[in-house]
Amino acid sequence: MPIIFGIFVIVLIVIISNIKIVPQAHAYIIERLGGYFATWSVGVHVTVPFIDRISKKVSLKEHVVDFAPQPVITKDNVTMQIDTVVYYQITDPKLYAYGVENPMMAIENLTATTLRNIIGDMELDESLTSRDVINTKMRAVLDEATDPWGIKINRVELKNIVPPREIQSAMEKQMKAERERRESILKAEGEKKSAILLAEGEKESAILRAEAKKQAAIKEAEGEAEAILTVQKAVAEGIRQINMAEPADGYLTIKALESFEKAADGKATKIIIPSEIQGIAGLAASLKGIIEEKPASGKRNE
């Protein structure tokens, strides 16, 4: 009885030890009697004792590998240090297990040689500004080369590009000079725009001042014209009133004398009086204050 129980325990342990659970995003390579038998995906599986064995456990997740900086030489003979980051994923566990002995070393060496070939066809300035082009070319070459290994290269990135120290110093000086040049251009453009705006402002001010003077002159002329028109209307109205009143001859004569007095204005040396009003009494008294004898050398106004 104890022997049977012991055998039962041993069989149970063997069965349990041969039950295998494959987790998510993993695959197991199974060999039977030393040869490839199957690829187990997610789930519960049972191996045959002493016949089957798990040859390799493969992770199907995306992997990221950061390779050490590699020395590369550009087309214009400048040596740089470039380190790359490769994102890859295993698509065929069987090929990955049997395709290459050390996949990571193979990818690293392939990355280094591919990078040297691509950078060798570029000059320094082009290599520094063409990261996307280099990444695309490297991914295409690596993806094609790793297909027989069951590996898919999803992305390749140049992490750092480190040129020699003297090249870095020259580049820094160049960038500084370029920034100073841009600053000078921006300053000159700002001063130019400021001067233009100032000139435009002065121009508009002068135009407004001239327009104001013009309007003032127009208003002044219109005022003078209106004043003259008003005076003339008043005079015409006075004449009309006089004509309507039918004044006597004596009144008209007196008005004529007043007109002569205004015309003389104390400056005339001689006034010719019409014969019609010479006989009016008091003519001498009316003319006494306005007729004065002027020096013989003076001019005579008629």
Q: What is the pLDDT of residues 71-130, one digit of tens each?
A: 998 888 888 899 899 999 999 999 999 988 888 899 999 999 999 999 988 888 888 888
Q: What's the chain's average pLDDT? A: 81
Are 155 and 197 part of one and the same domain?
Answer: no
Are 259 and 241 part of one and the same domain?
Answer: no
Tell me how far apart the alpha carbons of residues 257 and 251 are, in angstroms, rounded to a whole number.
10
Are 208 and 272 part of one and the same domain?
Answer: no
> Is pLDDT of 137 > 60?
yes
Q: Does any domain span residue 168?
A: no
Question: pTM for the full model?
Answer: 0.56
Are 30 and 101 part of one and the same domain?
Answer: no
> Is pLDDT of 271 > 60?
no
> Is pLDDT of 264 > 60?
no
Q: Does any domain span residue 170?
A: no
Q: What letter would DSSP give residue 291?
A: -
Report the pLDDT averaged over residues 51-60: 91
In total, how many domains does the chain have? 4
Are 289 and 226 part of one and the same domain?
Answer: no
The 10 Å Cβ neighbour count of residue 70 is: 17
